[in-house]
Chain A
Amino acid sequence: MSSNIFDVENIRLDFPILDKTVNGKKLIYFDNAATSQTPKQVIDVISDYYLNYNSNIHRGVHFLSQQATELYEGAREKLKNHFNAKLNSEIIFTSGTTHAINIVSSGYSEILSEKDELIVSELEHHSNIVPWQILCEKTGSKLKVIPMNDLGELELDKFDELLNENTKLVFVNHVSNALGTINPISEIITKAHKYGAKVLIDGAQASAHFKIDLQNLDVDYYVTSAHKLCGPTGVGMLYGKKELLENLPPYQGGGEMIDQVTFEKTTYADLPHKFEAGTPNIAGCIAFGAAIDYINSIGLDKINNYENHLLQYATAKLNSIENVKIYGESENKTSVISFNVKGIHPYDIGSILDKMGIAVRTGQHCAQPIMDFFKITGTLRISFAFYNTEEEIDFLIDTLKKAIKILS
């Protein structure tokens, strides 16, 4: 598909920040894998909440509290529908992907024992490694790693060798934040289930780019962050199958999550409230729902097509520059390109791009095992969203060539 079918100029009008100048240059935002920009439709929902509905939820007899509760629960319903969960109560609002993973990992510290085994992949964000290492330290369970190949793809035949009757949990990201690889999670889930293992998928890098159908995937836990899909920061989702979440011990104690409290014993509230102790980020959760509406108003299929077009366009241009090496060359990728220029430190290039108004990410991308695999200390990462354009990519390429000239 070519870019002229997709009305990007019109879409850009929804994102006021894209008009900003930085360092005296027009902002070109290519750090979408870290955080996507927020359309005014979502910003409006946040300010509307504070202007008209601000109050605490689930607690008040009064009008505002009831309205706020309705909006909050309405957002949950939107997530449930969008991701096709079976029940609203399977959707837990969290502060983000990291929080969601920690709810599950800390719950399992009371479930697992020494003989149990967990499987992670080599392709993970630290958020999907460290909580499990903490869990293993507590329980004595063993952590095994699915290796990847030179293209940055997981080696599924090696996964088969790691699975056995002791495997209790498998956790893999849907899409790698460092390389953009889309992992074959459907196969991973099917294989793990054969051994009775449960699967958690980190969807932080996936949910903004294509449709996710939780029931169809038959995934046990799925987590993501709102700020990666045009929503606010500090809000995320934990999806878990009802029977699993019911058996998972609560993460935090406090108000909102209890049924009865006496000093002898407290019984917990039903799902989803058991995992939502304290006053949540109400405006943020409502805005998460609005972000989903926004994305759907454009259509994830169209978004995916267009972003793919940008990916192909930029990949071809980058590959035509001498000494550029792209890391992550799977056929199945989202619009993320990690690369280096031979002999030049990514941070030097990133600094010059920044001066020219281009926002990219440099470093390890919270994925040190991937950097170790390629024996590098970091990369430059550019990541596109549906509001980016070919012209922006052209400018990046020109600037990159100049930077290389200065730095070589």
Chain B
Amino acid sequence: MKIIDIQNQIIEEFEVMNDWMEKYEYMIGLGKSLPTMDNNFKSDSNLIKGCQSRVWLHAELKNENIFFHADSDAIITKGIISILIRIYSGQSPKEILDSSFDFINKIGLKDHLSQTRANGLSSMIKQIKMYALAFQTKLN
């Protein structure tokens, strides 16, 4: 599925939720079902700075598409990660770089995150873009 389609799907899912509690419970559920990351990937070099909880993000290129693996020691953060993986894992570097990250505002997630967590989310997105850029350079 295309990035934009997955994003729209997620926006729709969030639209039917009434309050922050539902959104939190949904994200907590996602967080719980995200497979834990291989401990080898939980290295300092995969650690994202700017998060209050620890977040690791690893990426690999397979058949010209990027696959992301990520984990966190906080469950709500894992929920956020799970959403990002659903959208961006398996996409090509170019598609990721061309995509808009506006859906975050549309699902109203930022309003429900504390400033530090919102900063953490921005750091994760930045890191996803960095990987995309690095792999695209490699492919060209």
Residues on A facing B (Cβ under 8 Å): 23, 344-345, 347-348, 351-352, 354-355, 362-363, 377-378, 406-407
B106 within 8 A of A: no
A377 and B54 in contact, given A344-B75, A345-B75 (Cβ under 8 angstroms): yes
Q: Ordered nearest first, which 9 A-B pairs have the shortest CB separation?
A: A345-B74, A347-B74, A347-B53, A348-B74, A347-B52, A348-B76, A348-B75, A345-B73, A345-B53
| Chain A residues, CB < 8 A from B74 | 345, 347-348
Interface SS majority for chain B: helix
CB distance from A340 to the nearest CB of B (A): 12
Closest partner residue, chain A, to B76 (CB atom): A348
CB distance from B4 to the nearest CB of A (A): 29
Closest partner residue, chain B, to A354 (CB atom): B114
| Chain A residues, CB < 8 A from B75 | 344-345, 348, 407
B95 within 8 A of A: no
Most buried by A among B25, B75, B77: B75
Residues on B facing A (Cβ under 8 Å): 20-21, 24-25, 28, 52-54, 73-77, 112-114, 117
| Chain B residues, CB < 8 A from A378 | 52
Contact A355 B52 (CB under 8 A): no
Contact B76 A377 (CB under 8 A): no
A406 and B25 in contact, given A348-B75, A351-B117, A362-B52 (Cβ under 8 angstroms): yes
Q: List 10 A-B pairs, Cβ < 8 Å.
A: A23-B20, A344-B75, A345-B75, A345-B77, A347-B74, A348-B75, A348-B77, A355-B24, A363-B52, A377-B53
What CA separation (Å) do A359 and B76 show in the bound complex?
A: 18
Contact A407 B28 (CB under 8 A): yes
CB distance from B100 to the nearest CB of A (A): 26
| Chain B residues, CB < 8 A from A363 | 52
What CA separation (Å) do A22 and B77 show in the bound complex?
A: 22
What CA separation (Å) do A206 and B73 show in the bound complex?
A: 33
CB distance from B42 to the nearest CB of A (A): 13
Contact B28 A406 (CB under 8 A): yes
CB distance from B25 to the nearest CB of A (A): 6
| Chain A residues, CB < 8 A from B24 | 351-352, 355, 406
| Chain B residues, CB < 8 A from A23 | 20
